[in-house]
Chains A and B, each alone.
Chain A
């Protein structure tokens, strides 16, 4: 196809948006609602995932160092722990710090009772280890327990298992809901564009009689669909920004549980503005193009 033909078809697609403004507006509204439903579902899903990941991150493993281990051996142990692939962070908690922390948490009477017992500190040196992938928790703790200088490893594998189940179930539900929404949106959009294409079926028929190829007929419709999709994407993005910010503030103000759990706040919109914007634009353009392709196919066959 020549450049002049491409220019012509693109121009035709753009002008059709305006010429068929009522139909374009109907498609725009449907696409906007569809994009919002899918977009907000995805955002809710990634935030819930973040919360679960945050809780997972708090599920630390305590590595208890054997009593009497030398300072060099303790340092070497830290390196050995860090060498395990699934280990994320390692922090040393000396027996002195543990003692001090314990005393600090005591009541005045208890403090008086224990202040002279420091020389007999029974607490061990420990490492607090966080893991990257909670699903490999058991394997990681097993490997740590075999390291030189390790007395024992304490981890709540049951809690990890619960978290894994919660996350897996949530992921399946989220995926199913999003996939269903996408299918529903595509069906609605292709039906809306079909109405638009049906209104112009005579035009398509004439094009076929004068020897237009299917591609030549479809391209302006696809461009029209893509443009409407892009406009809907921009509108959906702006609406999402307001809805998301409002919802995030509401949740963080009213649900102190997130703070209690020590979980970082939800994604701030500023952090995800670029991927959300790009995702909306791509989704709008693709859904618009696919919707019109599905609906024009029927009328292109003469």
Chain B
């Protein structure tokens, strides 16, 4: 669960990125965060990851009060999250298998568990045959699916997808969101930042529109795919 309570962020440059935002994303939700460039979407993500601290208000993520969370405990917070970036951010010197397994190694998971869990998650995203490939040998869509597998392998409570379709073909974009939807149906909360309105209209669901650092719109709408 993510809860923003009257949160404001002012950067050292004096820019007000968020103004008194109050927001709650419940467990099991699938929410799109939309808004123009500079609206405050990235600031919202940075707050959830505790990359930055709120200037005012409190942020709670998966039971962690981020205001009180000490720096050395940040890894504990991030282990409850799965993150998918627009630019994939896979480790180029690691194979697909190693990239995914790395997350479990970080949390000291047993070797046996890693050996069974990683191939399972890689097969969920349809890349079992590419497990030994390096990121540079994969297409953009495939790389994003690896990133998704990496976000998923730790069975996180919340997956944050920051423009996950921004660097891939439109056709593959739908595939990625379908995968995220499937993960959400299994109970994982998904927060997807996007500026692709077609995708939002197609899938529908909860839409949070941020404009000039404030929540301009927070409603649930029906998707085009549901109407079909």
With A1-B108, A5-B108 in contact, do A210 and B103 touch (Cβ < 8 Å)? Answer: yes
A211 to B154 CA separation, bound complex (whole angstroms):
11
Interface membership of A25, Cβ < 8 A: no
A302 to B92 CA separation, bound complex (whole angstroms):
20
Contact, CB under 8 Å: A203 / B51: no
Interface membership of A212, Cβ < 8 A: yes
A8 to B220 CA separation, bound complex (whole angstroms):
46
Q: Is the interface of A mostly helix, strand, loop or mixed?
A: helix
Interface size on A, residues (CB 8 A): 20
A211 to B167 CA separation, bound complex (whole angstroms):
25
Contact, CB under 8 Å: B106 / A206: no
Contact, CB under 8 Å: A216 / B78: no
A28 to B111 CA separation, bound complex (whole angstroms):
34
B:2-28 near A, CB below 8 Å? none
Contact, CB under 8 Å: A213 / B75: yes
Contact, CB under 8 Å: B108 / A210: no
A107 contacts across to B, CB distance below 8 A: none
Q: What does the 1/0 interface line of B88-113 toward A look like (CB < 8 Å)?
A: 01111100000000110111101100
With A2-B108, A5-B108, A216-B106 in contact, do A211 and B51 touch (Cβ < 8 Å)? Answer: no
A128 contacts across to B, CB distance below 8 A: none
Interface membership of A19, Cβ < 8 A: yes
Contact, CB under 8 Å: A209 / B108: no
**Which B residue's beta carbon lies closest to that of A7?**
B111
A1 to B105 CA separation, bound complex (whole angstroms):
11
A19 contacts across to B, CB distance below 8 A: 93
Interface membership of A202, Cβ < 8 A: yes
Contact, CB under 8 Å: B108 / A211: no
A202 to B102 CA separation, bound complex (whole angstroms):
15
Contact, CB under 8 Å: B89 / A211: no
Contact, CB under 8 Å: B105 / A202: no
Residue pairs across A and B with CB atoms within 8 Å: the count is 51
A19 to B72 CA separation, bound complex (whole angstroms):
30
Contact, CB under 8 Å: A302 / B51: yes
Interface membership of B49, Cβ < 8 A: yes
Contact, CB under 8 Å: A206 / B79: no
Q: What does the 1/0 interface line of A139-160 toward B look like (CB < 8 Å)?
A: 0000000000000000000000
**Which A residue's beta carbon lies closest to that of B76?**
A211
B110 contacts across to A, CB distance below 8 A: 2, 4
B:150-169 near A, CB below 8 Å? 150, 154
Q: What does the 1/0 interface line of A107-136 toward B look like (CB < 8 Å)?
A: 000000000000000000000000000000
B:77-136 near A, CB below 8 Å? 77-79, 81, 83, 89-93, 102-103, 105-108, 110-111
Q: What does the 1/0 interface line of A190-208 toward B look like (CB < 8 Å)?
A: 0000000000001101111
B105 contacts across to A, CB distance below 8 A: 5, 8
Contact, CB under 8 Å: B78 / A211: yes
A:179-238 near B, CB below 8 Å? 202-203, 205-214, 216
Q: Which residues of B contact A (CB under 8 A)?
A: 49, 51, 72, 75-79, 81, 83, 89-93, 102-103, 105-108, 110-111, 150, 154
Q: Contacts A210-B102, A211-B154 given; 6 further ones with Cβ under 8 A? A: A4-B110, A5-B108, A205-B89, A208-B78, A210-B79, A210-B106
10 A-B pairs with least C-beta separation? A211-B79, A211-B78, A211-B75, A212-B106, A210-B103, A213-B75, A206-B89, A4-B111, A203-B91, A2-B108
